[in-house]
Amino acid sequence: MTCRIGVAGVNGRMGRVLVEATVQNTESTLGAAFVRRGSAVIGQDAGLVAGVGALNCLVRDDLAAACTDFDVLIDFTSIDATLSHLDICRSAGRAMVIGTTGFSSTQKALLQVAAREIPIVFAPNMSIGVNVLQRVLAQTAALLGEGYDVEIIEAHHRHKVDAPSGTALRLGEIVARAYGRDLAEVAVYGREGHTGARDAKTIGFSTIRGGDVVGDHTVLFAGIGERIELTHKASSRMTFAQGAVRAARWLKDQPPGLYDMTDVLGLK
Ligand SMILES: NC(=O)c1ccc[n+]([C@@H]2O[C@H](COP(=O)([O-])OP(=O)(O)OC[C@H]3O[C@@H](n4cnc5c(N)ncnc54)[C@H](OP(=O)(O)O)[C@@H]3O)[C@@H](O)[C@H]2O)c1
Protein backbone atom coordinates (compact mmCIF):
# COMPACT_ATOMS: atom_id res chain seq x y z
CA MET A 1 0.00 0.00 0.00
CA THR A 2 1.16 3.55 -0.66
CA CYS A 3 3.17 5.10 2.14
CA ARG A 4 2.24 8.69 3.01
CA ILE A 5 5.44 10.45 3.91
CA GLY A 6 5.91 13.60 5.97
CA VAL A 7 9.16 15.48 5.41
CA ALA A 8 10.63 17.62 8.19
CA GLY A 9 12.96 20.52 7.35
CA VAL A 10 11.65 20.58 3.82
CA ASN A 11 13.66 23.67 2.87
CA GLY A 12 17.00 22.09 3.82
CA ARG A 13 19.52 20.48 1.43
CA MET A 14 18.23 17.01 2.28
CA GLY A 15 14.61 18.10 2.77
CA ARG A 16 14.27 19.27 -0.83
CA VAL A 17 15.78 16.07 -2.23
CA LEU A 18 13.58 13.99 0.08
CA VAL A 19 10.49 15.56 -1.48
CA GLU A 20 11.82 14.72 -4.95
CA ALA A 21 12.61 11.11 -3.97
CA THR A 22 9.18 10.72 -2.33
CA VAL A 23 7.26 11.76 -5.42
CA GLN A 24 9.56 9.82 -7.78
CA ASN A 25 8.75 6.61 -5.93
CA THR A 26 5.56 4.98 -7.19
CA GLU A 27 4.79 3.55 -3.74
CA SER A 28 4.98 6.77 -1.74
CA THR A 29 3.23 10.14 -1.71
CA LEU A 30 4.01 13.41 0.06
CA GLY A 31 1.46 13.65 2.88
CA ALA A 32 2.88 16.70 4.65
CA ALA A 33 5.91 18.98 4.67
CA PHE A 34 7.27 20.90 7.65
CA VAL A 35 9.65 23.73 8.47
CA ARG A 36 10.55 25.57 11.63
CA ARG A 37 8.20 28.20 13.07
CA GLY A 38 8.55 31.58 11.37
CA SER A 39 10.10 30.18 8.18
CA ALA A 40 9.55 32.27 5.05
CA VAL A 41 8.23 29.26 3.09
CA ILE A 42 5.25 28.43 5.34
CA GLY A 43 2.12 28.23 3.17
CA GLN A 44 4.06 27.69 -0.05
CA ASP A 45 3.62 24.53 -2.14
CA ALA A 46 6.21 21.99 -0.95
CA GLY A 47 6.84 20.83 -4.52
CA LEU A 48 7.74 24.38 -5.57
CA VAL A 49 10.02 24.76 -2.54
CA ALA A 50 11.74 21.51 -3.56
CA GLY A 51 11.91 22.53 -7.22
CA VAL A 52 9.85 19.62 -8.55
CA GLY A 53 6.66 21.46 -9.55
CA ALA A 54 3.42 21.98 -7.62
CA LEU A 55 2.27 19.01 -5.49
CA ASN A 56 -0.79 20.53 -3.82
CA CYS A 57 0.85 20.05 -0.42
CA LEU A 58 1.44 23.24 1.55
CA VAL A 59 4.42 23.71 3.86
CA ARG A 60 3.42 23.93 7.54
CA ASP A 61 5.04 24.52 10.93
CA ASP A 62 2.54 22.63 13.14
CA LEU A 63 3.73 19.02 13.17
CA ALA A 64 1.56 18.08 16.16
CA ALA A 65 -1.60 19.14 14.34
CA ALA A 66 -0.79 17.29 11.12
CA CYS A 67 0.32 13.82 12.25
CA THR A 68 -2.74 12.18 10.68
CA ASP A 69 -1.56 13.39 7.25
CA PHE A 70 1.40 10.99 7.09
CA ASP A 71 2.34 7.42 8.03
CA VAL A 72 6.08 8.02 8.47
CA LEU A 73 7.99 11.24 9.18
CA ILE A 74 11.39 11.48 7.49
CA ASP A 75 13.58 13.81 9.51
CA PHE A 76 16.96 15.14 8.34
CA THR A 77 17.11 18.38 10.34
CA SER A 78 19.07 19.21 13.49
CA ILE A 79 19.45 17.42 16.82
CA ASP A 80 17.11 19.75 18.74
CA ALA A 81 14.49 19.67 16.00
CA THR A 82 14.61 15.88 15.64
CA LEU A 83 14.26 15.34 19.40
CA SER A 84 11.28 17.66 19.51
CA HIS A 85 9.71 15.87 16.51
CA LEU A 86 10.39 12.56 18.24
CA ASP A 87 8.24 13.58 21.22
CA ILE A 88 5.39 14.60 18.92
CA CYS A 89 5.56 11.41 16.81
CA ARG A 90 5.71 9.25 19.90
CA SER A 91 2.58 10.89 21.32
CA ALA A 92 0.81 10.52 17.96
CA GLY A 93 2.01 6.95 17.32
CA ARG A 94 3.75 7.89 14.07
CA ALA A 95 6.85 6.09 12.71
CA MET A 96 10.07 8.03 12.03
CA VAL A 97 13.03 7.69 9.71
CA ILE A 98 15.82 9.73 11.30
CA GLY A 99 18.83 10.77 9.24
CA THR A 100 20.05 13.64 11.44
CA THR A 101 23.59 13.05 12.71
CA GLY A 102 25.68 14.22 15.67
CA PHE A 103 23.65 12.78 18.59
CA SER A 104 25.46 12.15 21.88
CA SER A 105 25.05 8.74 23.49
CA THR A 106 22.57 10.27 25.96
CA GLN A 107 20.51 11.62 23.07
CA LYS A 108 20.69 8.27 21.26
CA ALA A 109 19.27 6.67 24.41
CA LEU A 110 16.18 8.88 23.97
CA LEU A 111 15.65 7.28 20.54
CA GLN A 112 15.83 3.85 22.15
CA VAL A 113 13.21 4.82 24.73
CA ALA A 114 10.85 6.20 22.06
CA ALA A 115 11.38 3.07 19.96
CA ARG A 116 9.59 1.03 22.63
CA GLU A 117 6.43 2.76 21.42
CA ILE A 118 6.99 3.63 17.74
CA PRO A 119 9.03 2.10 14.90
CA ILE A 120 12.16 4.14 14.12
CA VAL A 121 14.85 3.73 11.47
CA PHE A 122 17.94 5.63 12.58
CA ALA A 123 21.03 5.55 10.37
CA PRO A 124 23.83 8.07 9.84
CA ASN A 125 23.98 7.11 6.19
CA MET A 126 21.00 5.87 4.20
CA SER A 127 22.86 5.06 0.99
CA ILE A 128 22.85 1.43 -0.08
CA GLY A 129 26.56 1.61 -0.94
CA VAL A 130 27.68 2.66 2.54
CA ASN A 131 25.57 -0.02 4.15
CA VAL A 132 27.10 -2.67 1.90
CA LEU A 133 30.51 -1.17 2.74
CA GLN A 134 29.76 -1.69 6.43
CA ARG A 135 29.20 -5.39 5.80
CA VAL A 136 32.38 -5.69 3.71
CA LEU A 137 34.28 -3.77 6.39
CA ALA A 138 33.38 -6.19 9.17
CA GLN A 139 34.44 -9.11 6.95
CA THR A 140 37.70 -7.38 5.96
CA ALA A 141 38.65 -6.69 9.57
CA ALA A 142 37.86 -10.27 10.56
CA LEU A 143 39.84 -11.71 7.63
CA LEU A 144 42.88 -9.46 8.13
CA GLY A 145 43.00 -9.91 11.90
CA GLU A 146 45.36 -7.89 14.10
CA GLY A 147 48.52 -6.27 12.69
CA TYR A 148 46.89 -3.63 10.51
CA ASP A 149 46.60 0.01 11.57
CA VAL A 150 43.09 1.36 10.94
CA GLU A 151 42.53 4.97 9.90
CA ILE A 152 39.20 6.46 8.78
CA ILE A 153 39.22 9.51 6.53
CA GLU A 154 36.06 11.45 5.67
CA ALA A 155 35.33 14.54 3.58
CA HIS A 156 32.15 16.66 3.48
CA HIS A 157 30.93 20.04 2.24
CA ARG A 158 31.74 23.28 4.05
CA HIS A 159 28.29 23.54 5.72
CA LYS A 160 28.44 20.29 7.71
CA VAL A 161 28.23 21.06 11.44
CA ASP A 162 29.38 17.81 13.11
CA ALA A 163 32.71 15.97 12.92
CA PRO A 164 33.72 13.27 12.41
CA SER A 165 30.67 12.37 10.37
CA GLY A 166 28.12 9.98 11.84
CA THR A 167 29.05 7.54 9.08
CA ALA A 168 32.76 7.67 9.97
CA LEU A 169 31.90 6.96 13.60
CA ARG A 170 29.69 4.04 12.59
CA LEU A 171 32.50 2.62 10.44
CA GLY A 172 34.81 3.00 13.44
CA GLU A 173 32.36 1.16 15.69
CA ILE A 174 32.20 -1.72 13.22
CA VAL A 175 36.00 -2.08 13.09
CA ALA A 176 36.30 -1.74 16.87
CA ARG A 177 33.68 -4.44 17.39
CA ALA A 178 35.42 -6.75 14.90
CA TYR A 179 38.66 -6.42 16.92
CA GLY A 180 36.94 -6.63 20.31
CA ARG A 181 37.85 -3.03 21.19
CA ASP A 182 35.79 -0.19 22.68
CA LEU A 183 35.78 2.72 20.22
CA ALA A 184 35.50 5.25 23.08
CA GLU A 185 38.85 3.99 24.39
CA VAL A 186 40.77 3.60 21.11
CA ALA A 187 39.54 6.47 18.92
CA VAL A 188 42.03 9.22 18.06
CA TYR A 189 40.48 12.34 16.50
CA GLY A 190 43.17 14.14 14.47
CA ARG A 191 46.84 14.45 15.41
CA GLU A 192 49.13 17.40 15.98
CA GLY A 193 52.55 18.06 17.48
CA HIS A 194 54.80 15.44 19.07
CA THR A 195 52.34 12.55 19.17
CA GLY A 196 54.78 9.71 19.78
CA ALA A 197 54.61 6.47 17.80
CA ARG A 198 51.23 5.12 16.83
CA ASP A 199 49.55 2.85 19.40
CA ALA A 200 48.60 -0.33 17.51
CA LYS A 201 45.13 -0.52 19.08
CA THR A 202 44.05 2.97 18.06
CA ILE A 203 41.54 3.80 15.31
CA GLY A 204 42.33 7.20 13.81
CA PHE A 205 39.84 9.68 12.34
CA SER A 206 40.71 12.47 9.91
CA THR A 207 38.16 15.06 8.80
CA ILE A 208 38.18 17.22 5.67
CA ARG A 209 35.61 20.02 5.17
CA GLY A 210 35.30 21.98 1.97
CA GLY A 211 33.28 23.09 -1.05
CA ASP A 212 30.33 20.94 -2.06
CA VAL A 213 31.65 17.44 -1.27
CA VAL A 214 28.52 15.34 -0.69
CA GLY A 215 30.31 12.67 1.39
CA ASP A 216 33.48 10.57 0.98
CA HIS A 217 34.61 7.86 3.40
CA THR A 218 37.74 5.73 3.31
CA VAL A 219 38.74 3.03 5.78
CA LEU A 220 42.46 2.32 5.52
CA PHE A 221 43.99 -0.90 6.83
CA ALA A 222 47.76 -0.29 6.76
CA GLY A 223 50.02 -3.28 7.30
CA ILE A 224 53.72 -3.86 6.71
CA GLY A 225 54.31 -3.90 2.94
CA GLU A 226 50.66 -3.49 1.94
CA ARG A 227 47.45 -1.64 2.62
CA ILE A 228 43.78 -1.99 1.81
CA GLU A 229 41.59 1.07 1.29
CA LEU A 230 37.80 0.69 1.25
CA THR A 231 36.24 3.84 -0.17
CA HIS A 232 32.69 5.06 -0.71
CA LYS A 233 31.96 8.35 -2.48
CA ALA A 234 28.49 9.87 -2.63
CA SER A 235 28.09 12.17 -5.63
CA SER A 236 24.42 13.11 -5.04
CA ARG A 237 22.18 13.53 -1.99
CA MET A 238 19.59 11.56 -3.95
CA THR A 239 21.28 8.32 -2.83
CA PHE A 240 20.50 9.19 0.84
CA ALA A 241 16.98 10.37 -0.03
CA GLN A 242 16.10 7.22 -1.99
CA GLY A 243 17.41 5.12 0.90
CA ALA A 244 15.27 7.11 3.35
CA VAL A 245 12.12 6.66 1.25
CA ARG A 246 12.84 2.95 0.98
CA ALA A 247 13.25 2.87 4.77
CA ALA A 248 9.93 4.69 5.25
CA ARG A 249 8.07 2.22 3.02
CA TRP A 250 9.61 -0.71 4.92
CA LEU A 251 9.01 0.87 8.34
CA LYS A 252 5.31 1.44 7.79
CA ASP A 253 4.62 -2.27 8.39
CA GLN A 254 7.04 -2.85 11.27
CA PRO A 255 6.28 -3.11 15.00
CA PRO A 256 7.85 -0.58 17.41
CA GLY A 257 11.64 -0.90 17.60
CA LEU A 258 14.90 0.81 16.72
CA TYR A 259 16.08 -0.30 13.29
CA ASP A 260 18.87 0.72 10.94
CA MET A 261 19.48 0.41 7.21
CA THR A 262 20.88 -3.10 7.50
CA ASP A 263 17.40 -4.13 8.70
CA VAL A 264 15.75 -2.28 5.82
CA LEU A 265 18.09 -3.78 3.23
CA GLY A 266 18.07 -7.28 4.73
CA LEU A 267 21.85 -7.19 5.29
CA LYS A 268 21.76 -8.58 8.86
N1 LIG B 1 21.62 9.85 7.28
C2 LIG B 1 22.01 10.28 6.08
O3 LIG B 1 22.06 9.52 5.10
C4 LIG B 1 22.36 11.73 5.91
C5 LIG B 1 22.72 12.25 4.66
C6 LIG B 1 22.93 13.62 4.54
C7 LIG B 1 22.78 14.46 5.64
N8 LIG B 1 22.45 13.91 6.86
C9 LIG B 1 22.23 14.75 8.03
O10 LIG B 1 20.96 15.39 7.88
C11 LIG B 1 20.96 16.61 8.62
C12 LIG B 1 20.51 17.75 7.70
O13 LIG B 1 21.49 17.92 6.68
P14 LIG B 1 21.31 19.05 5.55
O15 LIG B 1 22.58 19.05 4.79
O16 LIG B 1 20.01 18.84 4.85
O17 LIG B 1 21.23 20.36 6.47
P18 LIG B 1 20.46 21.73 6.17
O19 LIG B 1 20.53 22.06 4.74
O20 LIG B 1 21.01 22.69 7.17
O21 LIG B 1 18.93 21.39 6.50
C22 LIG B 1 18.44 21.25 7.80
C23 LIG B 1 17.02 21.75 7.78
O24 LIG B 1 16.45 21.52 9.08
C25 LIG B 1 15.68 22.65 9.39
N26 LIG B 1 15.49 22.84 10.83
C27 LIG B 1 16.41 23.18 11.75
N28 LIG B 1 15.83 23.31 12.94
C29 LIG B 1 14.50 23.09 12.75
C30 LIG B 1 13.38 23.09 13.61
N31 LIG B 1 13.50 23.36 14.93
N32 LIG B 1 12.16 22.78 13.08
C33 LIG B 1 12.04 22.48 11.78
N34 LIG B 1 13.07 22.49 10.91
C35 LIG B 1 14.28 22.79 11.41
C36 LIG B 1 16.48 23.82 8.85
O37 LIG B 1 15.63 24.93 8.71
P38 LIG B 1 16.23 26.40 8.60
O39 LIG B 1 16.79 26.45 7.19
O40 LIG B 1 15.06 27.27 8.81
O41 LIG B 1 17.29 26.52 9.63
C42 LIG B 1 16.95 23.26 7.52
O43 LIG B 1 16.00 23.50 6.50
C44 LIG B 1 22.38 16.77 9.18
O45 LIG B 1 22.41 16.28 10.50
C46 LIG B 1 23.22 15.87 8.26
O47 LIG B 1 24.40 15.41 8.85
C48 LIG B 1 22.25 12.58 7.01
DSSP at 198 = P
Question: H-helix or E-strand containing 167?
Answer: helix 166-178
pTM of the model: 0.94
DSSP at 253 = T
Rounded to the nearest angstrom, the distance between the alpha carbon of 53 and the centre of ligand 1 is: 22
Rounded to the nearest angstrom, the distance between the alpha carbon of 79 and the centre of ligand 1 is: 9
Q: Counting Cβ atoms within 10 Å, is residue 74 exposed (0-12), middle (13-18) or buried (19+)?
A: buried
pLDDT value at 251 more than 90? yes
Q: What is d(CA 98, CA 120) in angstroms, rounded to the nearest whole number?
A: 7
Confidence of residue 250 (pLDDT cuts 50, 70, 90): very high
Confidence of residue 221 (pLDDT cuts 50, 70, 90): very high
Would you give the distance in Å from CA 30 to the centre of its chain?
20
Confidence of residue 268 (pLDDT cuts 50, 70, 90): confident
Q: Is the CB of 239 under 6 A from ligand 1?
A: no
pLDDT of residue 173: 97
Mean pLDDT confidence for 193-203: 97
Is 229 within 8 Å of 171 (Cβ atoms)? no
Q: Which of 112, 113, 111, 73 is nearest to 92 (CA)?
A: 73
Q: Is the CB of 6 under 6 A from ligand 1?
A: no
pLDDT of residue 1: 81
pLDDT of residue 121: 98
Q: Is the CB of 11 under 6 A from ligand 1?
A: yes
Relative to the CA of 125, which ligand 1 atom is closest?
3
Confidence of residue 231 (pLDDT cuts 50, 70, 90): very high
Query: Tens of pLDDT along 30-73?
Result: 999 999 999 999 999 999 999 999 999 999 999 999 999 999 99
